[in-house]
Amino acid sequence: MKVQWADRALQDLEDVLDYIHWDNPVAARSIHRRVFEKTEKLRDFPDLGPISTEAGEPFREILVKPQRILYLHEDGTVTMVAVFREEADLRAIREAD
């Protein structure tokens, strides 16, 4: 299974890590490591996360506190499409785009 990141998801993650890094560089590095460890599990378990209640099928999400990662599993590829705070309302984020 191929695992890849959409440009938007990478930018979302970079923005989150930059923000956290200002106050706590150690936490930013820890989140970075945990995000990639968890998303690499999708290589073997592409349906690991539940279907997103906000985005609906075919989107799934995984939690890497304090972030949620929205992804798609299609045609032998898992694509991370967005990263956002776990308490964020995805519908509001989509409307702002």
Q: What is the CATH number of domain 2-96?
A: 3.30.2310.20
Provide, rounded to the nearest whole percent, the portion of the chain with pLDDT above 90: 76
Pair 1, 16: CB distance under 8 Å: no
CA–CA distance, 57 with 75 (Å, rounded to integer): 15
Coil, helix or strand for 76? coil
Indicate if the pLDDT at residue 88 is higher than 70. no
Please say if the pLDDT value at position 97 is more than 60: no
Closest CA to 87 of 55, 63, 59: 63
Q: How far apart are CA 67 and CA 48, in angstroms?
A: 16
**Average pLDDT over all residues of the chain:** 89
Predicted model pTM: 0.85
Alpha carbon distance 77, 90 (integer Å): 23
Domain boundaries, the chain: 2-96
With cut-offs at 50, 70 and 90, classify the pLDDT of residue 91. Answer: low
Look at residues 97, 88, 54 and name the one whose alpha carbon lies nearest to residue 68.
Answer: 88
Please give the pLDDT value at position 96: 45
Residue 61 confidence (pLDDT) above 60? yes
- Flag whether pLDDT at 52 surpasses 60: yes
